[in-house]
């Protein structure tokens, strides 16, 4: 056998060996790679299941919290609505008493109020005021009870109601005192007690209205020759209703809507009997 034949056989053997080695290496590599891939996939699958379990647990916890919050919110809303209902019932009760006690101010000018007891026909219309005043005292326990709802009303609404209640009760008490002492004063004069009987300017009442309604509204009320206390109560009620709307529905009326309501209110007030119409005489 010559050299070239031997070299050819050796080369062929090496080629076959290399090919077999490559095939074996590929199979081993595929096997190792598949093993690693399966291990990695198993690890990822395991982690994914853990994450899914954790998410399901957190979701259940969150749903429980949201359900509890919803129940609490519903309970708070119910308490708020009940509190607002009781507040408005008191407003209507105070208004009913004020309408009776303050009746002279609805139809008489300041000058006519000062001479009320000198006119027999006017004097005869004042006899029911003491009884109405006594009914106003029956509201005191209800007003005291309302304060337990103060957290559900909110401070802004509570302050507006307090201003309404103080103004209404002060005007009722002043008028009753005037009836007892047989000397009535215009709504923004006089006061309670011995000093109030002198008929000086009622600074406390004017200051209260200015702080709640503003100087412009107070000027509008002051310029009315008749019905000034009723106008003040109507404005305070409107402020209360705006606060109730915000408390219950969570919104404020726009400025344009407030101006429109004010325009309507003033138009309605102008439709009442003119200041120039004389009081009917017998």
Helices (H) and strands (E) counted in the chain, each on its own, are: 13, 0
Look at the block and give the residue holding tokens 């702080």: 211
Say if CB 208 and CB 167 are below 8 A apart: yes
Reported confidence tier of residue 132, pLDDT bands at 50, 70, 90: confident
Residue 207 has which token pair? 């200051």
pLDDT tens digit sequence for 49-89: 776 777 677 666 666 665 655 555 577 788 888 999 999 99
CA 259 – CA 45 distance, rounded (Å): 66
Closest CA to 171 of 205, 138, 198: 205
Look at the block and give the residue holding tokens 């006594």: 134
Residues 6+ apart with CB under 8 A from 165: 90, 94, 143
pLDDT tens digit sequence for 13-39: 666 666 666 656 566 565 665 566 566
Residues in the chain: 282
> Domain coordinates of the chain in residue numbers?
76-270
């Amino acid at each position: 056998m010559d050299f070239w034949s031997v070299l050819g056989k050796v080369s062929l053997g090496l080629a076959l060996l290399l090919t077999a080695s490559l095939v074996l290496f590929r199979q081993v590599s595929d096997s190792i790679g598949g093993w690693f891939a399966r291990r990695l996939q198993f690890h990822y699958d395991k982690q994914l299941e853990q994450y899914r379990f954790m998410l399901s647990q957190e979701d259940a916890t969150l749903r429980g919290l949201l359900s509890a919050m919803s129940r609490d919110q519903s309970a708070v809303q119910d308490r708020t609505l009940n509190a607002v209902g009781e507040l408005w019932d008191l407003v209507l009760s105070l208004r009913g008493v004020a309408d009776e006690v303050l009746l002279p101010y609805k139809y008489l000018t300041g000058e006519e109020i000062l001479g009320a007891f000198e006119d027999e026909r006017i004097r005869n219309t004042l006899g029911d005021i003491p009884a109405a005043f006594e009914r106003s005292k029956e509201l005191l326990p209800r007003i005291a009870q309302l304060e337990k709802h103060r957290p559900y009303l909110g401070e802004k609404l509570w302050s507006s109601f307090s201003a309404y209640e103080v103004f209404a009760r002060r005007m009722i008490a002043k008028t009753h005192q005037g009836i007892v002492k047989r000397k009535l004063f215009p709504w923004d004069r006089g006061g309670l007690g011995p000093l109030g009987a002198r008929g000086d300017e009622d600074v406390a009442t004017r200051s209260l209205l200015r702080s709640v309604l503003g100087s412009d509204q107070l000027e509008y009320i002051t310029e009315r020759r008749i019905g000034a206390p009723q106008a003040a109560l109507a404005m305070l009620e409107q402020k209360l209703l705006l606060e109730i709307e915000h408390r219950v529905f969570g919104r404020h009326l726009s400025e344009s809507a407030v101006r429109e309501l004010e325009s309507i209110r003033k138009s309605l007030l102008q439709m009442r009997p003119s200041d120039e119409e004389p009081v009917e005489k017998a």
